Amino acid sequence: MLLITIMTFLSGVTLGAVVLVQKSAIAWSSEVGREVTIQIRPIEGEVMQSNVRTAITLANSAAGVSKAFALSLDESEELLIPWLGEGLDLSALPVPRLIIVELDRADAQDIAQLKASIETIAGASLNTHAAWRQQLNTMAGTFVISGLLVLFLIASATVLAIIFATRGTMSSNRAIVDVLHFIGASNSFIAGEFQGRFLRIGLRGSIAGAVASLLFFFGAGIAVSSILPDQSGAQLGALFGTFSLGFEGIIAVSLLVPAISALTAVTSRLTVQSFLRNTS
Amino acid sequence: MIRFENVGLAYGNEPEVLKNLSFSIKPGSFHFLTGPSGAGKTSLLRLFLLSLRPTTGKITMFGEKVSRLNQDRLLQLRRHIGIVFQEFRLLDHLTTFENVALPLRVLGQSESEYASNVKELLEWVGLGERIDAHPPLLSGGEKQRAAIARAVIGRPDILLADEPTGNVDPELAERLLHLFAELNRMGTTIIIATHELPLLDKFKYPRMQLSNGRLKIDGS
Ligand SMILES: Nc1ncnc2c1ncn2[C@@H]1O[C@H](COP(=O)(O)OP(=O)(O)O)[C@@H](O)[C@H]1O
Ligand SMILES: [Mg+2]
C-alpha cells in the first residue's frame, strides 16, 4: 500500500514536471514566434537614421505585421550593459540598431517577403529566432522523453515490487490456498478471492499518491510565489510556468490512479495465477 | 465408488505407512476407519481426497483412474467430496457463514441462492447465534461443527471426516454421528476416521481397521 503510494507520488511528480515543461515550451515558442527583429549594421556612407526609418516603414506596410519600432539608443545600451559594462556611450560607437517587429500571425510566407524587402536596405538583416526556437524545442523534447523514460522505469520497479509483494502474500496465505484447493476451487476462483484485496490496495495507494503529488505542486507553487517573489522566482516561473499544473496537468496526474490500480490488479492476478500453477 | 488395488504409500524415503491395500467401497456405504494414533488414518483419507498420490498401486475414484487425472478434473471430482479436517482448517478471515458457504460459491451459486440453506444448516448444528463470528472466536466444539457444516453443505457424494468427534463432549459427539447417519440414509457415502472406539459401539457400521500399514475390513 505504502509502496504504491510512493510509486504513484513519484510518477505524479514526474508526469507533472513533464506537463509543465511541455506547456511552458509551447508558450515560449509561440510568444517568440510572433516576433522578429531587424538588425541594421552601420555601414560607411549610409545614414543610419534614414535606413532605420525606411526599415520601419517597410515593416509596417508588410502583410501580417502589427507593430514595428526601433529600440532607442538608450535601450540598446541597456541590452549591451551585461556585455560591455556600465557607463558606455553608444553615440560614440558604431553599434547596430535593432527594430522589433511584432506579428499578427506567424506565417512563413509573410516573413519571407518581409525578409526579402528588408534586405534591400544596405546592412539590414532579419532574424526570426528560428535557431533559438529549434534549440528550445529540442531541449523541451529531451526533457519530455527523459520524463517518460523515468515514468517507464518507475512502472517497471512498481511491477517488480508488486510481484514480490504478491508472492509474499500468497506464501503467507498458503493455508488458505490449500483449503480452497481441497474444496475443489479452481485457480481462477482462488485468484478472484485474492484479486479484490490487491485491487483495494492498488486503488487506495494510488489515490493517496496522486493526491500527494498534486499537493506537492500546489505547495511548490505557493512556495515559489511567496519565498522567491523577486528575480529568481520570475526565472523559475519562466522555466516552469509558475508551477501551476493547469487543467491538463491535474487530469494527467489523476489518470495515474486508474492506470496504477490496473497495473497492480493485472500484475497481482498474473502473479497469483503463476503461483497457483507452480504450487498445486 | 472407491477402489484400491495394491496401493502402497510412503512419505519420502521412509518405510511405507500403508502397505499393499486392496479394497473397494460401495456407493451409499458407511465405514468407520479405526486404528491407533499414527496408524495412517489421515494418510488414507488424503488418498481419498486426492491430495496425496499413492507410491505404488492403483486408485479408482468415481470410476476414474486417479493417476490419469489432470488438475481441472481433480478439482471437479473434489467438489463431490466433503472433508472435515482434524484441525478444521476454517479460514480465519471469513465469518462462520462465509466459511460454510464456500463450497457453494465454488459451485457457482450466488449468495441469494445459498443464504437460506447455509443459515438453516448452521441452526441445525447449533451455530445459529455464531453466524457472523470469525473462527478464532469459536470454541473447539463450535469450530468442529462449522467444519462439519462446510463439509456437508454441498451435499457431497462422499463425506470424509478425520476425528470429527475429537473436540466435542460425548453427547454432541453422538448427535454428530446421528447427523452423519442421516446423511448416509439420504445416499451419501461416509468414511469417518476415529480412534474413539467406545462411541462406535452404538452404531452398527462396518469398520476398517488399520494397523501396521495393513487394512482389515469387518462388518462388526
Ligand atoms: N506429511 C508427512 N510427512 C512425513 N510423514 C508423515 C506425514 N504425514 C504423516 N506422516 C507419518 O505417517 C504415519 C501415519 O500418520 P497419519 O496418517 O497422520 O496417522 P493417523 O491419522 O492414523 O494418526 C505417521 O508415522 C506419521 O509420522
Ligand atoms: Mg490423523
pLDDT tens-digit series, residues B133-183: 999 999 988 999 999 999 999 999 999 999 998 878 888 888 889 989 999
Distances, alpha carbon B174 to alpha carbons A212, B177, B178, in Å: 62, 5, 6
Write out the three cell numbers for A206. Answer: 494510488
- What pLDDT shows up at residue A25? 81
CATH of B1-80+157-220, one of 3.40.367.20, 1.10.1740.10, 3.40.50.300, 3.40.190.10: 3.40.50.300
Q: How many A from CA of B42 to the centre of ligand 2?
A: 4
> Does an H or E element contain A15, and which?
helix A2-33
What are the mean pLDDT values of chain A's consecutive 10-residue runs (280 residues total)?
A: 88 88 79 80 81 85 82 74 67 77 78 83 81 81 90 92 89 90 91 85 91 88 68 53 72 91 90 83
What is the sign, positive or negative, of the torsion defined by CA atoms of B86, B90, B95, B100?
A: negative
Average of per-residue pLDDT across B82-108:
95
Among candidates A179, A186, A189 on the partner chain, residue whose Cβ is nearest the Cβ of B91:
A179
φ, ψ at A194 (rounded to 5°): -90, -25
C-alpha cell of residue A62? 508588410
Residue found by looking up cell 490496495 in the block: A201
CB-based contact, B220 to chain A, within 8 Å:
no
Q: Tell me, what's the pLDDT at A51?
A: 85
Q: Strand pairing partners for B8?
A: B56
Domain ranges of chain B: 1-80+157-220, 92-155
**Helix extents (H) in chain B:** 41-48, 71-78, 96-106, 111-124, 140-152, 170-185, 197-200
Domain map (residue ranges) of chain A: 2-29+133-279, 42-122
B219 has a pLDDT exceeding 80:
no
- Whether B77 contacts chain A with CB within 8 A: yes
3-state SS assignment for residue B50: coil
Reduce the DSSP state of residue B158 to 3 states and report it: strand
Regarding the beta carbon of B47 and ligand 1, being less than 6 Å apart is answered no
> Which candidate from B49, B93, B106 shows the least CB-CB separation from A185?
B106
Q: Cell triple for residue A276? A: 497457483
Most confident listed range (A42-51, B54-63, B68-77): B54-63
A275 — phi, psi (to 5°)?
Answer: -60, -45
Residue B69 C-alpha cell reads as 487425472
Q: In a mutational test of the pocket of ligand 1, which residue from B41, B43, B191 has the highest number of ligand atoms less than 8 Å from its CB?
A: B43
Flag whether pLDDT at B39 surpasses 90: yes
The secondary element (H helix, E strand) that includes residue A101 is strand A97-103
Q: Are B192 and B199 in contact (CB under 8 A)?
A: no
A68 beta partners:
A101
CA distances from B202 to A174, B161, B164, B178 (A): 40, 18, 16, 10
Residue B12 CA, closest ligand 1 atom number: 4
Beta partners for residue B64, in sequence order = B61
C-alpha distances (whole Å) from A103 to each of A33, A37, A59, A106, A107 are 9, 11, 10, 7, 9
Q: What is the pLDDT of residue A95?
A: 75
Q: Whose CA is nearest to atom 4 of ligand 1?
A: B11
B72 touches chain A (CB under 8 A): yes
Q: Is the dihedral of CA B135, B137, B139, B141 positive or negative?
A: negative
Is there a contact between A180 and B49 if contact means CB atoms under 8 Å apart?
A: no
What is the reported pLDDT for A243?
59
CA distances from B113 to A193, B105, B117, B119 (A): 19, 10, 8, 12
Asked if B89 lies within 8 A of A179 by C-beta distance, the reply is yes
Residue A229 confidence (pLDDT): 56
- Total-model pTM: 0.70
Q: CA A209 to CA A189: how far, in whole Å?
A: 31
Residues from chain A that touch B75, judged by Cβ atoms under 8 A, are 181, 184-186
Helix ranges (H only) for A66-186 are: 73-84, 108-118, 130-172, 174-183
Burial class (CB in 10 A: 0-12, 13-18, 19+), B186: exposed
Q: Which helix (H) or strand (E) holds A56?
A: helix A48-61
How many C-alpha atoms does B53 have within 13 Å on its Cβ side? 12
Q: Hey, what's the torsion of the CAs at B32, B34, B40, B41, to 10 degrees?
A: 30
Query: Residue B132: helix, strand or coil by DSSP?
Result: coil
Of B69, B54, B56, B58, the residue nearest B2 (C-alpha): B58
Q: Is A226 exposed, middle or buried (0-12, 13-18, 19+ CB in 10 A)?
A: exposed
B171: CB partners within 8 A, 6+ apart: none
**Residues B66 and B4 sit within 8 Å (Cβ to Cβ):** no
- What pLDDT shows up at residue B220? 47
Write the pLDDT tens digit of every residue in B181-195.
999 999 999 999 998
Mean pLDDT of B87-116: 95
Q: State the pLDDT at residue A120.
A: 85
Q: What is the mean pLDDT of chain B?
A: 92
Residue of minimum CA distance from atom 24 in ligand 1: B38
Cα-to-chain-centroid distance, residue B28 = 14
* Separation of alpha carbons B123 and B109, rounded Å: 20
The identity of residue B173, as a single letter, is A
